[in-house]
Amino acid sequence: MHPVSTAPKRRRLLDPGLVIIIVLASIGAGLTYRDQGMAAVWAIIEDDSLLFLEILPKVAAGCLIGALITLLVPREVIVRLVGSESGLRGLVIATLAGILMPGGPFTVFPVTVAFLTIGADAGAAIAFVTAWHVIGLNRAIIWEMPFFGPHFVVMRVGVSLLFPLLIGLVARWLHLRRKDTP
Partner 1 sequence: MIAVVFTGLLWALALWLVIIALRRGDGTAKEALQRALREFLWLLPRLAIGVIGAGFLARLLPAESIAAYLGRDAGFVSLLIASAAGMLTPGGPVVGFSLGTAALKAGAGMPQVITYVTAWSLMSFNRVIVWELPIMPRHFVYLRLAVSWPLPLLAGGVMLLVQ
Residues 142-181 that bind partner 1 (CB under 8 A): 142-144, 147-148, 152, 155-156, 159-160, 163, 167, 170-171, 174-175
**Among 44, 14, 15, CA closest to 32:** 44
Question: Given candidates 112, 118, 124, 165, which one binds partner 1 under the rule CB under 8 A?
Answer: 112
Q: Does 119 bind partner 1 (CB under 8 A)?
A: no
DSSP helix/strand/coil, 85: coil
Contact positions with partner 1 (CB under 8 A) in 48-67: 48-49, 51-52, 55-67
Q: Which helix (H) or strand (E) holds 174?
A: helix 163-180
State how far the alpha carbon of 132 is from the alpha carbons of 20, 105, 138, 151, in Å.
27, 8, 8, 20
Q: Does 77 bind partner 1 (CB under 8 A)?
A: no
Question: Given candidates 1, 3, 15, 182, which one binds partner 1 under the rule CB under 8 A?
Answer: 15
**Among 114, 145, 144, CA closest to 129:** 114
Per rule CB under 8 A, count of chain residues that contact partner 1: 79
- What span, in angstroms and rounded, lies between the C-alpha atoms of 122 and 87? 12
Question: Given candidates 18, 88, 154, 176, which one binds partner 1 under the rule CB under 8 A?
Answer: 18
Residue 89 CB, nearest approach to partner 1 (Å): 20
Residues 114 and 125 sit within 8 Å (Cβ to Cβ):
no
Residue 80 CB, nearest approach to partner 1 (Å): 19
Contact positions with partner 1 (CB under 8 A) in 120-139: 122, 125-126, 129-130, 133-134, 138-139
